[in-house]
Amino acid sequence: MSSVDRALDVDGLRADTPGCERVVHLNNAGSALPPAVVTDTVVAHLRREEEIGGYEAHAEAADRIEAVRASAADLLGAHADSIALVESATAAWMRGLQAVVHSRPLGPGDRMLVSTAEYASNVLPLLQLARTTGARLEFVPDRADGSLDVDAFAAMLADDVALVSVTHCPSQNGVVNDVAAVGVLLADHPAWYLVDACQSVGQLPVDAHAIGADVLSVTGRKFLRGPRGTGLLYVSQAALDGLEPFPLDLHGATWTENGYVMAPTARRFEFWEKSYAVILGLGAAIDYAQACGIEAIAARIGSLAERARTGLAAIGGVRVLDRGAVRSGIVTFAHDDVEADALVAAIRAAGVNVSLSTPDYAVRDFTSYGTSADDAPRSRVRVSPHAYNTEAEVDRLLEVVDTATRA
Ligand SMILES: Cc1ncc(COP(=O)(O)O)c(C=O)c1O
């Protein structure tokens, strides 16, 4: 499948990744460069659809499609029955939420607890629910280091908490939240526990069961290096026993003479129609990552991210904004004089892909500490290396930032 099997061989990773020849891609938290095997797998399935018909190609690939579920389960320390194949992390998280609120409608007496660094697309539907049901949305404060304060969470937890959502690795601050510690506190509590693992799966080992999540959402295109339009939803056994997704379609349930019967597995969270080509591509990405070894990937991403942080901090006027005692591979910084959007434009113009983190993606996090001398919430530059990046590429970024910020 690839030139990488046991040890992490960076040259091999790069040879497997055609994009490495064209760009310095430090935007893996946005959407990574896929290895060729991913694109080849997608294209091969599209070709079969062209040759023999979409349903026929689907039938032919049925075992391989089910194998994607098994690969995803293995990746997340789960059983294949706990995995739904969906279109994005947002689709996964939303279907979990829909099931939670359909199974027990919220009312004015209910509380919803979320992390301060929660992603906007998780907070927006909860704001809607707060408005329409009267349930209260509360943010769990961070510790001084910027990670979720588990003790504060424990103090906030009471019988009226109906759901909890924590973002494992926020997209904008380099933190790794201790989602397993929250899971321990929720083990005997009836609140449903949603974990946003969108930025962590693929860059760190993630065991959904060990975390104690009821619902865990994953995207394909970021650190997993899968195709766009893919995602995974993990659903715990307790959630399978207690949650009914809404709405169901004919793939997630069977219409019977007397009503309907839900699929016994997490398949009930899926819809029938989707791109099976990209699902197969996601399977190839997961198998590729597993062949590399997630621990080895995590170690390399961590070391490249630290190199970037150290080098950036040494450039005059640059402030590295990452916090947390445990750091992810997401590096964010701002400059005292050059606005982040101008900096991103200059870095991109030099052939290095980085992205802009804007306050609207995580309003609470951006307003909880300043990114500028006057502490106003400002956009940040985000740098997110992957295992296929080189030290020389990180150094190239540092050189470009140094030049772009020199007065
Ligand atoms: C922390 C976090 N959660 C959720 C999402 C949404 O993922 P998707 O775009 O795959 O729905 C993102 C995307 O950047 C993210 O960073």
Domain 10-34+293-405 identical in fold to domain 38-291: no
Predicted local confidence at residue 240, as pLDDT: 98
Predicted local confidence at residue 378, as pLDDT: 87
Contacts of 202 (CB under 8 A, 6+ apart): 32, 222, 223, 224, 225, 289, 294, 297
- End-to-end CA distance of the chain: give it in Å, rounded: 49
Predicted local confidence at residue 365, as pLDDT: 85
Token readout for 173 is: 């601050």
How many CA atoms are closer than 13 Å to the CA of 318, on its beta-carbon side?
26
Q: Rounded to the nearest whole angstrom, what is the distance from the C-alpha of residue 74 to the centroid of ligand 1?
A: 22
Predicted local confidence at residue 375, as pLDDT: 61
CATH number of 38-291: 3.40.640.10
What DSSP character marks residue 361? G
d(CA 279, CA 78): 18
Tell me whether residue 273 is exposed, middle or buried, using C-beta atoms within 10 angstroms of its C-beta: 0 to 12, 13 to 18, 19 or more.
Answer: exposed
Beta bridge partners of 262: 253
Q: The pTM is what?
A: 0.96
Predicted local confidence at residue 98, as pLDDT: 98
Ligand 1: residues with CB < 6 A are: 88-90, 119, 121, 167, 170-171, 196, 198-199, 219, 231
Helix axes 294-313, 276-292, angle to 10 degrees: 80
For residue 362, the one-letter residue type is A
Tell me whether residue 165 is exposed, middle or buried, using C-beta atoms within 10 angstroms of its C-beta: 0 to 12, 13 to 18, 19 or more.
Answer: buried
Of 88, 97, 121, 365, the residue with max ligand 1 atoms within 8 A of its CB, to mutate for a pocket test, comes to 121
Domain ranges for the chain: 10-34+293-405, 38-291
Q: Phi-psi category of 375—alpha, beta or left, where left has phi over 0 and alpha has psi -120 to 50?
A: left
Predicted local confidence at residue 361, as pLDDT: 87
Per-residue pLDDT of the chain (407 residues; tens, 9 = 90+): 444 444 589 999 999 999 999 999 999 999 999 999 999 999 999 999 999 999 999 999 999 999 999 999 999 999 999 999 999 999 999 999 999 999 999 999 999 999 999 999 999 999 999 999 999 999 999 999 999 999 999 999 999 999 999 999 999 999 999 999 999 999 999 999 999 999 999 999 999 999 999 999 999 999 999 999 999 999 999 999 999 999 999 999 999 999 999 999 999 999 999 999 999 999 999 999 999 999 999 999 999 999 999 999 999 999 999 998 999 999 999 999 999 999 999 999 999 999 999 988 888 888 776 544 456 678 999 999 999 999 999 999 999 999 999 96
Of 171, 363, 384, the residue with max ligand 1 atoms within 8 A of its CB, to mutate for a pocket test, comes to 171
Q: Identify whether the C-beta of residue 166 lies closer than 8 Å to the C-beta of residue 138.
A: no
Fold (topology level) of 10-34+293-405? Aspartate Aminotransferase, domain 1 (3.90.1150)
Ligand 1, atom nearest to 196 Cα? 3
Residue 262 CB neighbour total at 10 angstroms: 16
Q: Rounded to the nearest whole angstrom, what is the distance from the C-alpha of residue 354 to the centroid of ligand 1?
A: 16
Q: Identify whether the C-beta of residue 163 lies closer than 8 Å to the C-beta of residue 194.
A: yes
Ligand 1, atom nearest to 92 Cα? 11
* H helix runs in 9-118, sequence order: 10-15, 36-52, 54-60, 62-75, 89-103
Closest C-alpha to 113, from 195, 180, 187, 170: 195
For residue 262, the one-letter residue type is M
d(CA 35, CA 40): 9
Compute, in degrees rounded to 10, the torsion defined by CA atoms 74, 286, 295, 13: 160
Sheet hosting strand 136-140, strand order edge to edge:
83-86, 231-235, 215-219, 192-196, 161-167, 111-115, 136-140
